[in-house]
Structure 1
Amino acid sequence: MPNPFPGMNPFLEKPSLWPSFHQRFITYLADAIDPLLPENHSADLGVRVYTSAPSNGMYPDVFVAKHAQKKKGRNGTTAILEADPPLEVEYWAEEIREPFIKIRMGPDPGKLIAVIELLSPANKTPGKGRTLYLRKQARVLRSTTHLMEIDFLRAGEHTVAVQLDTLPENHWDYLVCLHRGRSRSKFECWPIPLQDRLPRIHVPLSKKDTDVVVDLQTVLDRCCETATGRRIDYSQECPPPLSKKNAKWIDELLRKKKLRK
């Protein structure tokens, strides 16, 4: 099904749809970038794999015990008490897989030129996923490698490297942030309102090579035409909650396209 929105499809932010969308978007973005690169460059996929507690905040392998207190009997002996029946909880940690793009120069393994990340819900929520991401972010920012961060999630904590207070207030819903290697505290940003088209962004390479330009809207629209897009139920409300202005705009747009009654 074609993307009914001019820009980001906010229904893709639904937790059950996000992993599939994340995988497809990164794959299609690499496919779009790779033919544009010089012959000695390549856009490959990497993946960050870790286990994390379920989203309800519990942690794996938890065992809670209430210790029985000793009680002395009248004859001076110690009474042996039985423990109260505990509440047994059993569950398994989730395996999280977060794909990203690595642009390299030269034969394998080559020099790492740029990293492109699509932020996941785990990256924007306190926990292991966020800790690992911020650790990698800091490492790349200190290096000569370019870092491109794409945030298509309205919920969660501010995570991209640029400071939030340097951006315009309340005029955007999504954000793309580029930090060029060795540029210290300078960032190039594309703030994106929900109702706007996704931008065409430039991806930096080595100093002697010209940036390549990729159209994020084309990549996202391709994702919507796959099984991921066909799973969307436009009759439902869009998670997370929208502003009244955006909710009204979405409702009118979907009714006009006969995707909602």
Structure 2
Amino acid sequence: MPSPFPGMNPYIEQAAVWQDFHTRFMSTAADVIGAQVEPRYFVKIEEHRYLHELFSAEREPFGRPDLSVLPGDENAPVPSGGAAVAAPATVFTPDAVEEEIQRYLEIRDRQTREVVTVVELLSPSNKDSKEGRQQYWNKVRLLLSRTKANLVEIDLLRGGPRMPWREMKECDYYALVSRASERPRVAFWPVKLREALSPIPISLRPDEPEPLLDLQALIHRIYDAGRYRLFIYDSDPEPPLSASDAVWAAQLLHPPA
């Protein structure tokens, strides 16, 4: 059963759902792209690893609401032994850190193993967290300036500031394709909440046919495979919809008989 929304489903943007969606998106996209680029290329699912200070004012466990930190046992026995030796001074441990894993895709040449294209789906920490945003953007700038790899970046989150691409049009979602041969120009697909997502090309080497990634078909496929209809509507979208969009969404979810 496809999603009832014509484009991106805003209920999928909830923190309790996003991590599952992101993982399914990367895996499904790898299958769809891989079937179109073989045998010259293959697709790998790789991982970014980000470290976040747990006591940072900006840090929240995006997409992982069940994350817990186990407290120490205050009743644990204190080791006994000889007399304690007093230290002349005291230092303190650094703030605790949390490791966050975000998956992305690499399209590689089967013969040379060279990375030809990188496909990224943004997560909340790429946009809302100062640390995660800076780490991600630094990686993008290095890829664009020091490699010949193409970049596909997809943002299906209404919340958080956009990545600082120059002259970006206002939109709720977007996809962009940075072909190495066309830099600094970047192909851009802006999408509004009520619009369907467009198929986007996955660029390879110049003058080669570009496979298509049908984002809308992918959303419907993941919505069905994840059985999202059973639980995502128990909570409101994050961030909240405007009053008019909330009425529109309610009509899609509960159409008149």
Question: TM-score over 0.5 for the alignment?
Answer: yes
The answer to whether the 8 A contact 2:47-2:103 is kept is: yes
Q: Does 2:130 match 1:127?
A: yes
> Contact 2:45/2:103 (CA < 8 Å) preserved in 1?
yes
**How far apart, CA to CA, are the structure 1 residues paired with 2:155 and 2:98?**
22
Aligned residue identity for 2:161? E
Provide the C-alpha distance between the structure 1 equivalents of 2:228 and 2:202, rounded to a whole number of angstroms: 27
What does residue 189 of structure 1 align with?
A: 188
Q: 1:8 matched to which residue of 2?
A: 8
Matching residue of 2:139: 136
Deviations 1:144-169, CA, capped at 9 Å, x for gaps? 1111100001111111x632x442x4
Match of 2:199 in 1: 200
Instruction: Determine the structure 2 residue equivalent to 1:155.
Output: 159
Check the 8 A contact 2:11/2:237 in 1, yes or no. Answer: yes
CA–CA separation in structure 2 for the residues paired with 1:48 and 1:231: 31
How far did residue 102 of structure 1 move?
0.3
Task: State the distance in 2 between where 1:20 and 1:231 align.
Answer: 14
Name the structure 1 match of 2:21: 21
Aligned length: 222
- For 1:247 and 1:20, locate their aligned partners in 2 and report how far apart those are by CA, in whole Å: 24
Secondary structure of 1:103's counterpart equals: strand
> How far does residue 228 in structure 1 lie from its aligned partner after superposition?
5.8
Aligned to 1:251: 250
The structure with more radius of gyration: 1
CA RMSD of aligned residues (A): 2.4
For residue 15 of structure 2, give the secondary structure of its aligned residue in structure 1. coil
How many percent of aligned residue pairs carry the same amino acid? 31
1:175 aligns with 2:178: no
Question: Take 1:238 and 1:177, find their aligned partners in 2: how far apart are those partners?
Answer: 25
Q: What is aligned with 2:222? A: 223
Q: CA deviation at 1:255?
A: 1.3
Q: Which amino acid aligns with 1:100?
A: Y
Distance 1:179 1:196, change over 3 A: same
- Please say if residues 17 and 228 of structure 1, whose CA atoms lie closer than 8 Å, have aligned partners that are also in contact: no
Deviation at 1:30, TM superposition (A): 0.9
How do 1:234-249 and structure 2 match up within 5 A? 234-249=233-248
- Contact in 1 for aligned 2:159/2:238 (Cα 8 Å): no
- 219-228 vs 21-30, greater mean Cα deviation: 219-228
Residue 227 (structure 1) shift: 3.4
TM-score, with normalisation over the residues of structure 1? 0.77
Q: CA, structure 1 residues 245+101, in 2 after alignment: closer, same or farther (shift >3 Å)? A: same
TM-superposed deviation, 1:220: 1.3
In the alignment, the residues of structure 2 paired with residue 245 and residue 189 of structure 1 have an alpha-carbon distance, to the nearest angstrom, of 27
TM-score of the aligned structures, taking structure 2 as reference length: 0.78
Give the secondary-structure state (helix, strand or coil) at the position aligned to 2:45: strand
Which moves more between the two structures, 17-26 or 221-230? 221-230
Separation of aligned partners in 2, 1:23 and 1:47: 11
1:9 shift after superposition: 0.8
Residue deviations 1:83-127 (CA, integer Å, cap 9, x gap) = xxxxxxxx95332110001011123x6111100000010100233
Return the structure number with greater relative CO, CA threshold 8 A, min gap 6: 2
